[in-house]
Structure formats: C-alpha cells, structure tokens
C-alpha cells in the first residue's frame, strides 16, 4: 500500500469543518485589522531562505526540502512565509504604491523535522506581515490580533511571552559579554550548546537540556543590554498590551530560531499541546527587506501553526461545532421515478439548497436511514399513492409534520423549506 509520506497528513472530510471554521475566523480577524491576503508560490529559489532566515539556523541548516530542478536551479519548498512575502513585496515594488502594506496568509509550509504530535513535515500556518512602519503600535497590533484569534477559539491555557532583541549593534556588543561570561563554563554545556557557542551563541537560550538551564539562568540577559530606542519601543508595546488586557510576561530567554529579528519578539504558548507548545511566534525584522535587496523598510509579523492550534482546541474541547447537515433528502419510492428525482434535485440545488438523493438503488427504508444519517432537515417523498394523485409529500424532520404539494409546484416546496430551514 502506498501511504502518505512520513510527517504529512491527509485532512479528511470529517475534520474539514474545524479547519474551515479556523480559516474563516482568521480571515475575519485579519480583515478587521485591514490586512490583505497574499498568496505566494510553494517553492522559491533556495537562496531566498538561506539569506533571509540565516545560514546558521536549524531551518536552513537541517530542515529545508531543497532540490535541483531539471534546469539545475536550486529550489526549496517554503519553510516559512516571511521571506516569500518580502520577496514579493520587493519584486512588485509594493512599497512604492503605498507606504504601509499589511498582508496576511494561510498556507502550507515544509520543514524536515522529526515528526511528533504538533510537529509535521508539511504543516500549515496563518500569519501576517506589516511592512513600512517602525511604530510599536504595529508590534502590539499583531500580538493583539494573534491573541484575539486564539481567544475566540476559547483557548484558556495561553501564555504570551515577549522579549526585545534590540538592534544588531547592541546585540553584537551583548554577544561579546555573553561569550566572556560563558567561556569559563563552556566545558559544562551540552554538546549542542557548545556548537552554538561558536556559531550562534544566542541560540544557547533555546536549549532544553536541564544542565544548560542553570548556566543560562545565571547568564547576563540581552534585554538588559538593548539600545535606548528598542527599550522605549518595548515599553510602549508592553503598555499597549496591558491596556488591551493581553496577559503577557517578559521572557528574556526568548531568542527565536530565525536570524532576521530585531527589537520585539513574541510567542504564544499553550499548556495543552505537550512539548510542541508554541502556537505562534513572530516579531520585528527591520533589516530583512534591505538584506534581501529592497529599499530599507521596517517590518513586523507573526505566524501560527494551524495543526497545533487545532490540537489545543481538541485537548481543551473548545471547538464544538454543530453537526453537519443537509437541507433536503429526496426519497425515490418507485424505480421509474429515478430521473424525476434527479431533475428535482437539480432544481433545488440551483436554488442553493444542499440536496442529496440515492445513487445505490436503495429501498425506501434505507434511503430514510441515509436521510437521518445526513441530518436532513426535510425529506421529499417522490412516488407512492401521493404521486398517483399528482402530489409530493414533504416531511419537516424537526416537527414530524407532513404536507402534500402539487407535483407541478416545486416552487412552493422550495419556499416552505427556505422559510423553515435552520442555518
């Protein structure tokens, strides 16, 4: 049997209503903040992500699906959207059309990580990117939007963590301070952290190894060394979050796994999804656009993992959607009325009703069973004694009430259904 590739999952019809509910909510919230949808290709030239996300990151170093196409161009399935959105922004000169561009997206992403609950190789993100302003109002806005989406899903066990990484100059100065502090303890660090010490020292803060924790906890914190402007902006972000009743905590260890961040970074964590607890993450990236060849333009954004959010909803039993139903099931009582039934179904479907008929030559009893299984709100009986006297019989399933209608007046049936249907 050919199976789905490790780390990928089918989303089956019975799960789709939850996905659609979340996607509709995302669209509704982003459009209330005036973000416009953007869609970019699934693959890009590899260099975009290598340059954008950073050569030394886990994503670029270990996790990308990279391949050469037949013309020997190195391509990569997108592991995240920020670099792609920035590429599109530069390519189409969108900054020239208006000074501030606010985008949102819902899209599959690809990272070759070790699969586990809440971690896949093809997963889905929704997110947003606001390009063109350094205002900390936007940092607060995206955190509020992210929190609002999770809140509307009734997720309870949420933690918003924020930090500021400052500008590269203050960060470089801090890295030297950190290096000096950790130098003497380097031999006590885990192997992974020792590697990070040489390559990307800030990532040591991401270590989950217990023996690293104590060393990290006692190390100087970046937030105490950031530049004045970053500090001021961070204060404004915190004030705005408080005023908007967003419960948050400053986490000086939140460094994020992508290299493009400056100033504010944040994550929202759920206590209900196990080890893969980050539902979303993001922050400011004021230098990325020029790094990718555009005119200097500040940016800020976040992305959230749809699978993880749905997992949290499942674990907290928050997303209880009504059972799916159809409007009308047409029961064919005599086999010679098959075409008539088909015609009627076409008529009601054109009136935008959700209609089903039998295609398996089932008995009347089996058709009724099917109507019940599909939660049909109405059943129309075509055939039998009524049909001999030129009538159809319509049953309103909620009340059990039944009524005859002349066969040449399907319009009357439609009106009755439309008046009584619950959406």
* Residues near ligand HAM (CB under 6 A): 80-82, 111, 113, 118-120, 123, 125, 127, 129, 257-258, 278-283, 285, 301-305, 307-308
Residue with the shortest CB distance to ligand HAM: 305
User: Closest by alpha carbon to 405, among 420, 416, 397, 418?
Assistant: 416
CB closer to ligand HAM out of 222 and 330: 222
C-alpha of 298 from chain center:
24
CB of 254 to ligand HAM, least distance (A): 11
CB of 253 to ligand HAM, least distance (A): 15
The CA distances from residue 25 to 19, 153, 157, in Å, are 10, 9, 20
Report how far residue 377's alpha carbon sits from residue 216's, in angstroms, rounded to the nearest whole number.
61
DSSP 296: S
CB of 265 to ligand HAM, least distance (A): 8
Report how far residue 131's alpha carbon sits from residue 301's, in angstroms, rounded to the nearest whole number.
9
CB closer to ligand HAM out of 33 and 347: 33
Cross-strand pairs, 380:
330, 394
Tell me the CB-side half-sphere exposure of residue 86, using CA atoms within 13 A.
Answer: 29
Cross-strand pairs, 202:
none
CB closer to ligand HAM out of 215 and 304: 304
User: Closest by alpha carbon to 255, among 193, 201, 197?
Assistant: 201
Extract the tokens encoding 63.
């996790």
The CA distances from residue 403 to 381, 391, 395, 406, in Å, are 10, 10, 7, 10
Extract the tokens encoding 193.
């952290």
The answer to whether residues 265 and 254 touch, using CB atoms and an 8 Å cutoff, is yes
CB closer to ligand HAM out of 312 and 345: 312
CB of 220 to ligand HAM, least distance (A): 25
CB of 104 to ligand HAM, least distance (A): 11
Report how far residue 216's alpha carbon sits from residue 209's, in angstroms, rounded to the nearest whole number.
10
CB of 330 to ligand HAM, least distance (A): 43
The answer to whether residues 263 and 222 touch, using CB atoms and an 8 Å cutoff, is no
CB of 102 to ligand HAM, least distance (A): 12
CB closer to ligand HAM out of 142 and 380: 142
CB closer to ligand HAM out of 310 and 355: 310
CB closer to ligand HAM out of 152 and 414: 152
CB closer to ligand HAM out of 126 and 405: 126
The answer to whether residues 304 and 149 touch, using CB atoms and an 8 Å cutoff, is yes
CB of 120 to ligand HAM, least distance (A): 4
């Amino acid at each position: 049997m050919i199976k789905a590739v490790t780390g990928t999952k089918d989303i089956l019809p019975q799960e789709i209503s939850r996905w659609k509910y979340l996607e509709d909510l995302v669209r509704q919230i982003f459009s209330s903040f005036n973000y416009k949808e953007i869609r970019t290709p699934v693959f890009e030239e590899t260099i975009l992500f290598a340059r954008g996300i950073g050569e030394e990151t886990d994503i670029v170093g270990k996790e990308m699906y990279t391949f050469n196409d037949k013309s020997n161009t190195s391509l990569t399935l997108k592991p995240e959207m920020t670099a792609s959105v920035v590429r599109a922004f530069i390519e189409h000169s969108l900054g020239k059309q208006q000074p501030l561009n606010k985008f949102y997206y819902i899209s599959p992403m690809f990272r070759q990580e070790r699969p586990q609950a809440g971690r896949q190789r093809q997963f889905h993100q929704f997110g947003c990117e606001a390009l063109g302003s350094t205002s900390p109002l936007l940092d607060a806005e995206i955190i509020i939007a992210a929190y609002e989406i999770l809140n509307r899903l009734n997720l309870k066990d949420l933690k918003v963590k924020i930090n500021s990484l400052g500008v590269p100059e203050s960060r470089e100065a801090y890295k030297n301070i950190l290096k000096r502090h950790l130098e003497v303890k380097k031999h006590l660090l885990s192997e992974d952290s020792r590697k990070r010490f040489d390559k990307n020292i800030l990532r040591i803060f991401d270590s989950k190894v217990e023996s690293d924790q104590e060393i990290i906890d006692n190390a100087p914190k970046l937030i105490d060394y950031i530049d004045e402007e970053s500090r001021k902006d961070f204060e404004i972000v915190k004030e705005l979050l408080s005023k908007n009743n967003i419960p948050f905590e400053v986490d000086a260890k939140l460094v994020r796994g992508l290299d493009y961040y400056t100033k504010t970074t944040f994550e929202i964590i759920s206590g209900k999804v196990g080890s893969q607890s980050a539902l979303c993450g993001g922050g400011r990236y004021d230098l990325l656009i020029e790094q990718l060849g555009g005119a200097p333009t500040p940016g800020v954004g976040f992305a959230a993992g749809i699978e993880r959010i749905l997992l949290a909803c499942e674990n907290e039993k928050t997303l209880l959607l009504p059972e799916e139903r159809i409007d009308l099931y047409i029961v064919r009582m005599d086999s010679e009325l098959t075409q008539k039934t088909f015609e009627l179904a076409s008529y009601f479907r054109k009136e935008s009703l959700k209609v089903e008929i039998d295609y398996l030559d089932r008995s009347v009893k089996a058709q009724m069973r099917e109507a019940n299984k599909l939660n049909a709100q109405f059943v129309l009986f075509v055939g039998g004694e009524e049909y001999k006297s030129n009538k159809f019989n319509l049953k309103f399933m909620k009340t059990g009430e039944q009524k005859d209608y002349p066969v040449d007046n399907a319009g009357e049936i439609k009106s009755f259904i439309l008046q009584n249907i619950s959406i």
